[in-house]
Amino acid sequence: MADETVIRKNPGKEKTEYVTTYRPSLLSSLPRKPQRQSLGIPDAGLPFRGLDEWNAYEFTWLNPKGKPEVAVLKFEVPCKSAHLIESKSLKLYLGSYSNTKFGHRSEVISTLESDLSLAAQAPVSVSLLTPEHVLQTGLSVLHGTSLDTLDVEISEYYWDPSFLRVQSDTIVRESVFSHLFKSLCPMTGQPDFASIHIQYAGRSINHEGLLKYLVSYRSHAEFAEQVTERIFVDIMNRCEPDRLTVHSHFTRRGGVDISSVRSHDDAPSAEVRLWRQ
């Protein structure tokens, strides 16, 4: 491997090291258990299935001749993993590949899988998508009823599950979504924007209350994966649907986005790339 290169930004201020040769120690993770305990989720037997899917659009490394290779890095962390990946450390860790030579693409994948699985404390699957593959896949849309067209007055921007309520005892199967979601990163305070897709079967949920509930996260600080679990638990506690799936499609920040899904059903794929991702 080449000699280590470190770039320091903002001289005279708090310094961030941008390491450009492979350094796995940059990657860090956080335990899921404390957050889940606060939501009343038991240690044994999660009330949902699911995964956290990450996409890194600015991933690069060097081939044996020193020529750069580029790809969209996609990896999936199962929700049953003991830890979640901390996003800032992930970006720094991935940046350390940029001036590192690898003999073959498979070596890059195996290195990523080993490091990410160790951090998550669960098997993590990795794939590298070529620009051609990404172009062929293209963008997708969410299917169902948009809550964003509702003409409602909103004044509460701190997490408030009391907005959730059942509309009627009529049993329905419904798919609804909103692009208006915003929360805050608990590490940096930066805004995290997302599209939230909710599919359920059970008594009809009031749309106005559901939209107000989602908007009430605007000043709430929490990791994306935990937000998804909080939404799932809140809807189950307040509305008691028979079946529920919550997809959170967070927009990219620093070239990386995350989509989380929690569901009663066998872990459906979170792989839907939206217009902001």
Which distant-in-sequence residues (6+ apart) come within 8 Å of 22 by Cβ? 1, 96, 97, 100, 111
Given 52, 192, 234, 257, which residue is catalytic?
192
Domains of the chain by start residue, with CATH? 6-137 (3.30.1130.10), 145-263 (3.30.1130.10)
φ, ψ of residue 232 to 5 degrees: the values are: -60, -50
Q: Range with the lowest mean pLDDT among 51-60, 126-135, 161-170, 197-206?
A: 126-135
Q: How far apart are CA 66 and CA 52, in angstroms?
A: 33
Is the pLDDT score of 188 beyond 70? yes
Is the pLDDT score of 9 beyond 90? no
In tens, the pLDDT along 65-121 reads 999 999 999 999 999 999 999 999 999 999 999 999 999 999 999 999 999 999 999
Give the pLDDT mean for 39-44. Answer: 88
Under the banding of pLDDT at 50, 70 and 90, the label for residue 207 is very high
Task: Tell me 72's DSSP state.
Answer: E
pTM, whole model, 2 decimals? 0.90
| Known catalytic residue at 192 | yes
Helix (H) or strand (E) holding 239: helix 224-239
| Known catalytic residue at 79 | no
Q: What is the pLDDT of residue 271?
A: 60
Q: What is the pLDDT of residue 269?
A: 59
- What is the token pair recorded at 276? 């902001």
In tens, the pLDDT along 132-177 reads 888 877 678 889 999 999 999 999 999 999 999 999 999 999 999 9
